């Protein structure tokens, strides 16, 4: 019954450590979207995330005997800091299991709050499993990050504040989704008090565990999850959050990495604060909803859920934000290798700015150019540019949504091999920690020659590599078994047009 949760939320003891965060109007975004957009600033909590609410509420309700035995949790960041600070305030001994890939800044932050730390595994899933094993063999209480009624109730206090702060019209609340605790807490409270308000969850399109569960009618486990929005990189939604979502959530929207990067920029433009990817997720979903439904004059709220982002990642965010807000178009254009052809190409662009131009001589007859162009921000602008170029006999391949092109090829243009190499191309993700690359190469054991390799560090827990290997097709299965044994996510990319146009061998 929802009354059970309403009472829990009203009685939640979050304000011993948490603050009532402001509901800030976003003027620039509101004007651009034609709706009144508000940001619920959970990034302003002392640990820069809403996670403190649920952790403290759960731990404050533990009986004294359990508090004396201590607590244990698994987290790579926000939940860890919430548990650590709560433990410090309540005088509870806390052990946090963190993946070995956790950035040092987060480890230091948790340790500074007095919690003990044990590093285990390359991912949250591995750390979580190990933490549960430790809890089962000790007297410590496991503090779940989302699948617990008291944690859900603590997160639900966010909704209580929103409805108190916005007593006038309110059409929809957009909530980031990982394990689903925040969404469940907000949904159950809002639908009890104001059932007319839409509750919309937002997930990355490469970590949409709730979206797929709702489609299937039961919880599913994703094989892999994207790690850009690491705060919501969860393979399976929690059992209790899923039960509540089925009853009280109106829909789930999925967004791309580029759309998340654009949302980080939107938040910065209006608040001069920097959200983490998971923190900007709700704004990305709000923008997509407005574009899809063509709504105007509505009042919309997005939860800015956190600001724990590594400084090193900002370069990547800035690079991808332009594409995410449809202000950069990436194209592969075929231009005759003759004097004056580039001038003719530029004249066709008129006053449009060229943001990037990559070229290297490869063929006596035809040049393949990787070009970035400024855009108006309208999705239709891309089609207009492509049609205009093709109408003047410049063949175009659209690279704007080609992940391989944006992640690797744009930095490798001119890398054509001088001959056919019979290589097979893979995109591989591996954990960013000392020795990971060496371990990978040792596992390959020199069985195959590496003919192409490109890697960029984005300040994230996992790095992305584009690599080519010279191997007979019948040996692909053995290579992929190596990757699977290491737990690396991979995709074959030999047929990707970005690779074939700019980095493939001569034929």
* 10 to 143, 245, 254: CA distances (angstroms): 21, 20, 31
- What are the tokens at 403? 């992940």
Q: CB-based contacts of 329: which residues, under 8 Å, 6+ apart?
A: 372, 373, 374, 375, 381, 382, 385, 398, 400
The answer to whether 53 and 158 are in contact (CB under 8 A) is yes
User: 3-state DSSP call for residue 458?
Assistant: coil
Q: ∠ CA(48), CA(51), CA(57), 5° rounding?
A: 130
Residue 223 pLDDT: 85
The residue whose two tokens read 């309540």 is 90
Rg (CA), the chain: 25
**Could you tell me which residues are beta bridge partners of residue 398?**
331
Euclidean distance between CA atoms 389 and 386, whole angstroms:
5
- What are the tokens at 276? 């983490």
- What are the tokens at 89? 């305030």
Euclidean distance between CA atoms 264 and 207, whole angstroms:
18
pTM: 0.79
Query: What is the mean pLDDT, run by run of 10 residues, along the chain of 507 residues?
Result: 90 95 98 97 95 97 95 91 95 92 79 93 83 92 96 98 95 97 98 97 95 96 84 91 97 95 95 95 97 96 93 81 77 80 76 71 73 76 88 89 80 65 83 66 73 67 78 87 82 87 65
Euclidean distance between CA atoms 206 and 198, whole angstroms:
24
Residue 456 pLDDT: 64
Q: What are phi and psi of 299, to 5 degrees?
A: -110, 120
Residue 507 pLDDT: 47
The catalytic residues are 51, 305
Residue 107 pLDDT: 85
- CA distance from start to end of the chain: 67
The answer to whether 37 and 47 are in contact (CB under 8 A) is no
Residue ranges of domains in the chain, CATH in brackets = 2-49+149-322 (3.40.50.1100), 52-142 (3.40.50.1100), 326-401 (3.30.70.260), 413-502 (3.30.70.260)
- What are the tokens at 418? 């001088």
């Amino acid at each position: 019954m929802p009354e059970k949760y309403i009472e829990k939320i009203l009685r939640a003891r979050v304000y011993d450590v948490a603050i009532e965060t402001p509901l800030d109007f976003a003027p620039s975004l509101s004007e651009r979207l034609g709706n009144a957009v508000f940001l619920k600033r959970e990034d302003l909590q002392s640990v820069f995330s809403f996670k403190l609410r649920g952790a403290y509420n759960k731990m404050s309700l533990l009986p004294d005997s359990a508090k004396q035995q201590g607590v244990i949790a698994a987290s790579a960041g926000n939940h860890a800091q919430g548990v650590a600070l709560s433990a410090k305030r309540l005088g509870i001994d806390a052990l946090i299991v963190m993946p070995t890939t956790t950035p040092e800044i987060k480890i230091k932050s948790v340790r500074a709050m007095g919690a003990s730390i044990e590093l285990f595994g390359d991912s949250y899933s591995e750390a979580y499993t190990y933490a549960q094993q430790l809890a089962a063999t000790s007297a410590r209480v496991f503090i779940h990050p989302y699948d617990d009624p008291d944690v859900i109730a603590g997160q639900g206090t966010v909704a209580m504040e929103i409805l108190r702060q916005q007593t006038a019209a309110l059409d929809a609340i957009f909530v980031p989704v990982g394990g689903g605790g925040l969404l469940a807490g907000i949904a159950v409270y809002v639908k009890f008090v104001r059932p007319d308000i839409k509750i919309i969850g937002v997930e990355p399109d490469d970590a949409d565990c709730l979206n797929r569960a709702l489609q299937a009618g039961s919880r599913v486990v994703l094989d892999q999850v994207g790690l850009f929005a690491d705060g919501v990189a969860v393979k399976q939604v929690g059992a209790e959050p899923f039960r509540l979502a089925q009853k009280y959530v109106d829909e789930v929207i999925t967004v791309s990495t580029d759309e998340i990067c654009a949302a980080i920029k939107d938040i910065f433009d209006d608040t001069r604060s920097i959200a983490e990817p998971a923190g900007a997720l709700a704004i990305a979903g709000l923008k997509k909803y407005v574009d899809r439904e063509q709504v105007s004059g509505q009042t919309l709220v997005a939860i800015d859920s956190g600001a724990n982002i590594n400084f090193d990642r900002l370069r990547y965010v800035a690079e991808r934000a332009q594409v995410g807000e449809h202000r950069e178009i990436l194209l592969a254009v075929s231009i005759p290798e003759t004097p004056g052809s580039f001038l003719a190409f530029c004249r066709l662009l008129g006053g449009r700015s060229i943001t990037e131009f990559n070229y290297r001589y490869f063929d006596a007859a035809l040049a393949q150019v990787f070009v970035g162009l400024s855009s108006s921000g309208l999705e239709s602008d891309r089609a207009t540019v492509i049609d205009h170029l093709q109408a003047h006999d410049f063949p175009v391949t659209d690279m704007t949504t080609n992940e391989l092109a944006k992640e690797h090829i744009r930095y490798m243009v001119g890398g054509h091999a001088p001959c056919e190499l019979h290589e097979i191309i893979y995109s591989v993700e591996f954990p960013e920690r000392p020795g990971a690359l060496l371990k990978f190469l040792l596992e390959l054991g020199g069985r195959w020659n590496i003919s192409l390799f490109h890697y960029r560090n984005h300040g994230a827990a996992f790095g992305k590599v584009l690599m080519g290997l010279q191997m007979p097709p019948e040996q692909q299965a053995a290579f992929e078994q190596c990757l699977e044994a290491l737990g690396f996510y991979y995709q074959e990319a030999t047929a990707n047009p970005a690779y074939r146009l700019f980095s493939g061998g001569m034929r």
